[in-house]
Amino acid sequence: MDVVLVAGMSELLVSNLGLIALGVCVGLVAICGVLANIFRKKYGKESVLADIFEAFASGVSESQEEIVRDAKKAAEDGKLSKEERKQAVEHALGIAKDVATGEAGKQVAKMGVAEARKWVGRVLAGRKKGMAETNAKTAEAKSNEAQAKVHEAALKMSKMGITGGTDAGSDT
């Protein structure tokens, strides 16, 4: 592959990191909705478990935005401390208590940190499971888009008489 094409693809990926991150976040929200629907199908339309799951999914998303992301960036090893994990779970529980209604709201209101940790774990496990598929689709779409842009740039360069150098695999 031409050196210019590789450089162009790298630049394109770096310049679109924000869009990639946004796509991942949208995918996570969609995954939580799908998992809540699975709960509903398994346990009935008015499933309290699905409503609790949705409430914690909201709490986990907000906790990740407000606490987890910044704490991981600040940590030398990129991991949360025990206290930061507890704070994130407590924050998720607080959000879940705010958003849960009906019977789910009553059950969430009674929960402590230990029970909340289990629900946060369920949400995160579901996201990890569904995230592989979402990441693969996002990566494929971004790759296709990047390849099209690189191809377009190579055509423009070719029309201008600019070559990309030699192929990495050629002997000349």
2 backbone dihedrals φ, ψ, rounded to 5°:
-65, 145
pTM higher than 0.85 = no
Confidence (pLDDT) at 171: 47
Is pLDDT at 108 greater than 80 in this prediction? yes
Q: What is the dihedral of CA 72, 74, 79, 84, to 10 degrees?
A: -80
User: What's the count of helices (H) and strands (E) in the chain, helices before strands?
Assistant: 7, 0
| CA nearest to 150, candidates 7, 19, 18 | 7
pLDDT in tens, 38-80: 766 665 555 777 788 888 888 888 888 878 878 877 888 888 8
pLDDT at 12: 64
Report the range out of 24-28, 62-66, 136-140, 144-148 with the highest average pLDDT: 62-66
- Tens digits of per-residue pLDDT, 151-163? 777 788 778 877 6
Where do the domains of the chain lie? 3-134
> Looking up tokens 């949208």, which residue turns up?
26
Instruction: Name the amino acid, one letter, at 118.
Output: K
In the structure, what pLDDT confidence band is assigned to residue 169 with cuts at 50, 70 and 90? very low
